[in-house]
Chain A
């Protein structure tokens, strides 16, 4: 079992990065790994529970919420990045944690693997 951290930086729906991160996370969890997601910059928009995609599209916040609830995924969110985008603590899906660079540093230090999806 490894501890794997995935960092994302770009907004959901505009780009595919959250989808990629979720697929990597699912495949890693399937193999028994422990996965953390760190949301940086515009990617923090993906954790807003008020996000309402059209019906045929995927619901990324809901998907993340389910993965957190299943105890398989930890989601940390850059707090300053939230402030910059008007995302408050009340808006985020249950189980996700507003944090910051100290938590990212801790994740990078303690993880066996760290991958970042560049901006």
Chain B
């Protein structure tokens, strides 16, 4: 069980590695350009639960309904940090 941070889009090999090797009890947070993953159904690329930072998503020209994953704020991000002693980032 770990918190996984994704900051690059879908062409980045490290991010593809993290998502492909995530477990179903991991939580993934998409930050910065990582939000581009949120445009597709998370089940296609990872076993983990996926969230995206709302302000990073909206700043890139999308509307909330465009995200296929729940959008969270930084307070909710910190709750996920609190939840997970282990990180993959």
Would you give the 0/1 interface string for B72-85, flagging 1 where the beta carbon is closer than 8 Å to chain A?
01110110011011
Name the one of B31, B73, B81 contacting A20, with C-beta atoms under 8 angstroms: B31
- Contact: B78 with A31, CB < 8 Å? yes
- Contact: A27 with B78, CB < 8 Å? yes
A3 to B29 Cα, complex, angstroms: 20
A15 to B89 Cα, complex, angstroms: 17
How many residues on A have C-beta within 8 angstroms of the other chain's C-beta atoms?
Answer: 21
Name the one of A15, A23, A33, A118 contacting B74, with C-beta atoms under 8 angstroms: A23
For residue A64, CB closer than 8 A to chain B, the reply is: no
For residue B69, CB closer than 8 A to chain A, the reply is: no
- Contact: A27 with B77, CB < 8 Å? yes
Task: Enumerate chain A residues within 8 angstroms of B14, measured Cβ to Cβ.
Answer: 118
Task: Enumerate chain B residues within 8 angstroms of A31, measured Cβ to Cβ.
Answer: 75, 78, 82
- Contact: A28 with B3, CB < 8 Å? no
Residue of A15, A17, A23, A116 with highest tally of chain B CB at under 10 A: A23
For residue A30, CB closer than 8 A to chain B, the reply is: yes
A11 to B74 Cα, complex, angstroms: 22
B residues whose Cβ falls under 8 Å from a Cβ of A: 3, 5, 7, 14, 31-32, 56, 73-75, 77-78, 81-82, 84-85, 87, 89
26 residue pairs of the A-B complex, CB under 8 angstroms, read: A2-B82, A4-B81, A15-B32, A16-B32, A17-B32, A20-B31, A20-B32, A24-B77, A24-B81, A26-B74, A27-B73, A27-B77, A27-B78, A28-B78, A28-B81, A30-B75, A31-B78, A31-B82, A112-B85, A113-B85, A114-B87, A115-B87, A116-B87, A117-B89, A118-B7, A118-B14
